[in-house]
């Protein structure tokens, strides 16, 4: 499942802080997870297939934001090269075209279907190159999103 875990470490010596601080950490935690969901949604914004992204419950200080969508997993994780055989007379598809996503890019474009109908009884599909959206999102969140969101929520809670 392509996902990203938001882990907030609360040192044991501050576990007795006021409820406002704890609530600030919880809100910050939710804010970071919401940003992760937004980033995941950007990667499939132009797709006809619409994967659902969720924030899955908290286990202590861990929230998991992601999807269990199979199609999204194939694009995120990639697929191996494989043979495709027609079940009827022939496979029918448009030749050429360009993908809507690229490896390591948090976003999606219109892509293109290609031109010219192709008919084949069998094709060797080269597989899908892994887009690694989850890795790109993790880097983005760690680099610039998490700290300001967490700090802002905690400061607001302590006002």
pLDDT given at position 118:
92
pLDDT of residue 17 exceeding 80: no
pLDDT given at position 29:
82
Helix, strand, coil abundance in the chain, percent, nearest 5: 40, 25, 40
| Residue in 65, 47, 35, 54 with CA at minimum distance from that of residue 108 | 47
Instruction: Considering only residues 58 and 131, tell me which one the structure prediction assigns the higher pLDDT.
Output: 131
Task: Count the domains in the chain.
Answer: 1
Quote the pTM value: 0.79
Give the alpha-carbon dihedral of 8, 157, 145, 78, to 10 degrees.
50
Expressed as residue numbers, the domain containing 128 is 3-158
Report pLDDT digits (tens) over 63-118: 788 999 999 999 999 999 999 999 999 999 898 889 999 999 999 999 998 888 99
Answer yes or no: are the C-beta atoms of 132 and 104 closer than 8 Å. yes
pLDDT given at position 52:
97
Top-confidence range, 34-38, 41-45, 91-95: 41-45
pLDDT of residue 137 exceeding 70: yes
| Residue in 55, 65, 62 with CA at minimum distance from that of residue 7 | 62
Report pLDDT digits (tens) over 77-87: 999 999 999 99
pLDDT given at position 2:
80
Which residues does 97 contact at the CB level (< 8 Å), separation at least 6?
111, 112, 113, 114
| Residue in 96, 99, 93, 7 with CA at minimum distance from that of residue 46 | 99
| Residue in 20, 35, 30 with CA at minimum distance from that of residue 156 | 20
């Amino acid at each position: 499942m392509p996902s990203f875990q938001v882990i907030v470490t609360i040192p044991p010596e501050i576990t007795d802080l006021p409820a406002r601080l704890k609530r600030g950490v919880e809100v910050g935690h939710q804010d970071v997870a919401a940003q992760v969901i937004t980033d995941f949604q950007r990667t499939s914004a132009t797709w006809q297939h619409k994967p659902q992204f969720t924030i899955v419950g908290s286990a202590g200080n861990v929230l998991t934001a992601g999807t269990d969508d199979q199609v999204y997993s194939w694009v995120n994780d990639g697929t191996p090269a494989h043979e495709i055989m027609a079940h009827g007379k022939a496979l029918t598809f448009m030749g050429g075209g360009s993908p809507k996503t690229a490896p390591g890019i948090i976003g999606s474009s219109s892509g293109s279907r290609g031109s010219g109908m192709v008919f084949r009884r069998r094709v060797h599909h080269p597989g899908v190159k892994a887009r690694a959206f989850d890795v790109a999102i993790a880097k983005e969140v760690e680099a610039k999103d998490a700290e300001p969101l967490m700090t802002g929520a905690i400061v607001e809670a302590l006002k």
